[in-house]
Structure 1
Amino acid sequence: MQVDVSIVIPVYNEEESLPELENEIAKALGGTYNYEVIFVDDGSSDTSWQQIKKLSDEKEFIHGISFSHNYGKSVALQAGFEKAIGTYVATMDSDLQDDPNEIPEMIQMLKDGYDLVSGWKKERHDPISKTIPSKFFNFVTRKVAGIELHDFNCGLKAYKSEVVENIYLYGELHRYIPMLAKKEGFTRITEKVVKHHPRKYGKTKFGLSRFMNGFLDLVTISFVQKYLQKPMHFFGTIGVILLIIGSGINLYIAYIKLILGQGIGDRPLLILGVLLMVLGVQLFSTGLLGEMINKNNVEGQKPRIRETV
């Protein structure tokens, strides 16, 4: 049977939500699309996996993956993406705060030509301790990514299947899927205002550590996207600048010693000049080494071909 939509749902200690969530998905998509639901249990300590197995036994289009321990949302989504067979792929959280009724319209937007549709929880039902950091995070990410989305971290998204086939998630990179998609050439990215319901069961998994890890991953992905295939452009440029400054300082010190005949042994500027030259050479060498290491990696990469005639 051809599957139109694969819905990938990471799960972590949401035993009470799952039966109700599956019922809401059936109401939203049943009769409209042939769909499958892929629950990915990310090492839950409650009975979430038992609930998933029960649902899977009852309905053949419900599938489950269970991790031995908690790996994180990105790894869970990646596992679901690799199992998904639908023409379109949707993701949502398992806590009943995302509304499955938004999915059909998001799928239609994909049919209209978009590669990725991201949900925007314009009206959020979360504590201020979560909403304020989220607004700041989205502002910074929007500026860095150059993608005009208001809610990068919204779990409710829809993609053409080729998008998820060409990205790889780990760490906290699920927050930056639009950036990863854009890097792979999927530039038709938009957003849709979606309903956000108050949490009905359990408690939020958001914490300061996740917030900080997200920003560290933002720095990582921004750097990698710019300099992965050209490390010399980063390290070499800084190295050359430091080398020039250090050389200039040392020429000045040599002028003082050789022309003016003054002592230089007690001048801190001498140490600074030598230090800058050493750092410059080290950074330049790091860039050169990076180019050598990256050579085999780049040669092994194949471009993603959109179309041939």
Structure 2
Amino acid sequence: MNLSIVIPIKDEAASLPELLAEIKAAILPDYADFEVIIIDDGSKDNSWEVLQNLSKECTFLKAVRLQYNCGKATALSLGFQLASGKYIATIDGDLQDNPAEIPEMLKILEGGSDLVSGWKKKRRDPWHKTIPSKIFNLMLSIVCGQRLHDFNCGLKVYKAPLAKSVHLYGDFHRFIPLMASWNGFKITEKTVEHRARRYGTSKYGVFRLLSGFLDLLTLMFLHKFTVKPLHFFGTLGLFACLIASVIFCYFGFEWISTGELRVRPLLVFSGFAFVSGVQFISLGLLGEMLNSKLQNRDYPIAERIEPLVKT
């Protein structure tokens, strides 16, 4: 299998026939051996019935229906695991992305990249979606260390090892290029066409900027401290203990000098800081103990050279 196209959908019954027709017209000339995997993420309309009917004429179609809405990240993760292609493309099911972009993106991928991410340079969305998106993408570019204009574009093409290596849940699908960059993969961006939505309504609103910032904090914490939790909690603990020690020394000097020791709010605070510091350090040590037991031993080997077998 050369190519797998993964499409997460929710309530996109009206767009599915046209979407599959466009994919077939765009992919068949260059890639006869391909599959389309559609994950129905708890649709409330008749999307599943439409897929059942389309499967009779589209022999390349595979579909899975989730019992309830699990989120786009879960749908993509399932699609990645089911994909059998050498390359994996993703596209949204709302017809705003053009499947005709995929062959050109595959050529770029074959040129040495591991991920080609689409950039909707001219977006056909209202301002309350485009402005937060620009702020979000600028923030992610700073964290990533590589300027990408559209981290969350649904149109992407991956080499299969990358797609299958990312751990997605919650809303982490928005950070796939960032996670790929952290893991040493090469990322390229390509300008793609963005079309106005013709059916249904958008599933996202202006409050995604706030949730995206919180998700980014979570991802950064997991990236830096999952393997070494004591580095985070231990630093907080040592800092709290240091403050407590300085205050204790001050009161100790006062006691020696005056012979009196009065309980004041600052002294109470120092005791609280010391106890908190010990708790933070203990929490970090517990994290290290758990991590040592649950450590994943899958090594990220990129290439391998084996000795030649003499004949």
TM-score, normalization: structure 2?
0.94
Tell me if the contact between 2:42 and 2:67 (Cα under 8 Å) persists in the aligned partners.
yes
Residues 146-295 of structure 1 correspond to what in structure 2 (within 5 A)? 146-186=145-185, 188-208=186-206, 210-265=208-263, 267-295=264-292
Partner of 1:143: 142
RMSD value, Cα: 1.4
Find the residue that maps to 2:134 and give its secondary structure.
helix
Structure 1, unpaired ranges of 5+:
none
Find the residue that maps to 1:169 and give its secondary structure.
coil
Q: Deviation at 1:40?
A: 0.8
- Alpha-carbon distance in structure 2 between the residues aligned to 1:252 and 1:211: 46
- Alpha-carbon distance in structure 1 between the residues aligned to 2:81 and 2:288: 31
Q: Deviation at 1:89?
A: 0.4
What letter matches 2:19 in structure 1?
L
Partner of 1:92: 91
- Alpha-carbon distance in structure 2 between the residues aligned to 1:211 and 1:27: 36
What letter matches 1:308 in structure 2?
R
- Alpha-carbon distance in structure 1 between the residues aligned to 2:150 and 2:206: 18
Partner of 1:27: 25
Q: Deviation at 1:117?
A: 0.7
Structure 2, unpaired ranges of 5+:
306-311
Partner of 2:55: 56
Partner of 1:115: 114
Partner of 2:105: 106
Q: Deviation at 1:38?
A: 0.9
- Alpha-carbon distance in structure 1 between the residues aligned to 2:73 and 2:208: 12
What letter matches 2:225 in structure 1?
Y
Q: Deviation at 1:211?
A: 4.0
Q: What are the Cα deviations for residues 137-195 of structure 1, in whole angstroms up to 9, with x where unaligned?
A: 11222222323211111100010011112112111011011122233332x11111111
What letter matches 1:78 in structure 2?
S
Task: Identify the range of structure 1 (92-101 vs 211-220) with the bigger mean alpha-carbon deviation.
Answer: 211-220
**Identical amino acids, percent of aligned pairs:** 48
Q: What are the Cα deviations for residues 92-114 of structure 1, in whole angstroms up to 9, with x where unaligned?
A: 10001001111111111110000
What letter matches 1:304 in structure 2?
P
Q: Deviation at 1:208?
A: 4.5
Q: What are the Cα deviations for residues 6-63 of structure 1, in whole angstroms up to 9, with x where unaligned?
A: 1100111111111111111112111211221111111111111111111111121111
Find the residue that maps to 2:189 and give its secondary structure.
strand
- Alpha-carbon distance in structure 2 between the residues aligned to 1:285 and 1:208: 40
Mapped pair 1:76 → 2:75:
yes
What letter matches 2:193 in structure 1?
K
- Alpha-carbon distance in structure 1 between the residues aligned to 2:178 and 2:193: 24
Mapped pair 1:307 → 2:306:
no
Q: Deviation at 1:262?
A: 4.2
Tell me if the contact between 1:166 and 1:184 (Cα under 8 Å) persists in the aligned partners.
no
- Alpha-carbon distance in structure 2 between the residues aligned to 1:275 and 1:7: 56
* Number of corresponding residues: 304
- Alpha-carbon distance in structure 1 between the residues aligned to 2:125 and 2:71: 21
Find the residue that maps to 1:165 and give its secondary structure.
helix
What letter matches 1:236 in structure 2?
G
What letter matches 1:21 in structure 2?
L
